Homo-oligomer: A and B are copies of this chain.
Amino acid sequence: MMKNYFKSVIPETTLRRMVYYTRCLNSFKNEGVKLIQSEDIAKKCGVKSSVVRKDLSYFGEFGVRGKGYDVESLLSTINGITNTFGKMNAALIGVGKLGSAIIKHSTENFNVKIIAAFDKDKKKINKEIGETKVYSVKDIENIIKKYKIKIAIIAIPPSDVQEIVDILVKAGIKAILSLALIPLNVPDDVEVSFVDVLSEVEFLFYKLSLRRNI
């Protein structure tokens, strides 16, 4: 039976794994593999095959029972979910060491493309890092609106973050990835996500410490 394209609510954990699956599928594709089974994806990603099937089933029925999934078509179906079918365009604020590392990383890998970067340092403005042009932070609103960018990565000192966040929200940004683990004030319709290496290391310390003390 054909079902409506998306089930009611899709768990965040599933969405996170979808990113992982995409990586795996691309890897299979590059190896020339045409057909795979849920078990193959599961092994490669370190999850259970039932999880893979369940995750995929949230979006529709893509497999053939008794056979498996067609790598190519599964990939393009997943790409279709984000409606991008190409690069996912994002902006980056803060072209310091971390910021430029991310730009470099995005040129080498995967699906995300940083199409505009911003900094307040005049020495950096108007230069290019790879294909990414660096603008003044004063131009954030203009450029973001011009290119209809919806996602921004923030790689600036914590003290400046909220000020920039306000500008981004005003410019129409709908999701912010902050590289500093500090609370952000945003409207309800703006997604916020944190990535912080040192926080994660601290978390690992907690985990290790508790292992012995239980």
Q: Residues of A with Cβ closer than 8 Å to B? A: 5-6, 8-10, 12, 15-16, 18-20, 22-23, 44-46, 81-84, 88, 90, 96-98, 100-102, 104-106, 109-112, 150-151, 153, 174-175, 177, 179, 181-183, 191, 193, 195-210, 213-214
Q: How far is the CA of A92 from the CA of B82 in the complex (A)?
A: 34
Residues on B with C-beta less than 8 A from A19 are 181, 199, 202-203, 206
Chain B min CB distance to A186 (Å): 11
Q: How far is the CA of A208 from the CA of B196 in the complex (A)?
A: 22
Instruction: Report whether B210 and A81 are in contact in the complex, using a CB–CB cutoff of 8 Å.
Output: yes
Q: Which of B101, B195, B209 contacts A82 (CB 8 A)?
A: B209
Residues on B with C-beta less than 8 A from A10 are 210
Instruction: Report whether A183 and B88 are in contact in the complex, using a CB–CB cutoff of 8 Å.
Output: no
A-B contact pairs, 27 of them (CB 8 A): A6-B213, A6-B214, A15-B210, A19-B181, A19-B199, A19-B203, A19-B206, A81-B206, A81-B210, A82-B206, A83-B209, A88-B201, A96-B101, A97-B101, A98-B98, A102-B197, A110-B198, A111-B198, A111-B202, A112-B201, A112-B202, A151-B201, A151-B204, A151-B205, A151-B208, A153-B201, A174-B208
